[in-house]
Amino acid sequence: MQHHLASSKQVGVTPEDWKALKNDPSSGKFTDKELAALAFAEKLTLTPAKINDADVAALKPHFTDAQIVDLDLLIGLINLTNRFTDPMGLELEFPAEKV
């Protein structure tokens, strides 16, 4: 997660955004579009075999079909990165930040 935290700063994600994600994504900090993407990301991360047509349909008011494919691919890539690096016990090349 630390690498994602570091790179997220480059695109304007703030520490307050991370805290809202951790504590209560529905707190009003995020748009309906962002909440739809977050719900999809969480389900794809925790229970990927349970993704169904309804999950994709929930994205359609906010994203084009191509964007949904991109979202799925990006979430999958992030999950792959975490599943590869975390078990390897790789050290960070910068100080870790607490979220």
Q: What is the pLDDT of residues 23-82, one digit of tens each?
A: 888 888 899 999 999 999 999 999 999 999 999 999 999 999 999 999 999 999 989 988
Q: Give pLDDT, residue 93.
A: 67
Question: What's the confidence (pLDDT) of residue 63?
Answer: 98
Other Cβ atoms less than 10 A from the Cβ of 37: the count is 21
Q: How confident is the model at residue 92 (pLDDT cuts 50, 70, 90)?
A: low
DSSP 27: G
C-beta separation of 2 from 96 below 8 A: yes
Q: Which helix (H) or strand (E) holds 45?
A: helix 32-46
Contact 5, 17 (CB under 8 A): no
Give the predicted TM-score (pTM) of the model. Answer: 0.81
What is the distance between the alpha carbons of residues 90 and 53, in angstroms, rounded to a whole number?
Answer: 37
Report which residue type is found at 54: A
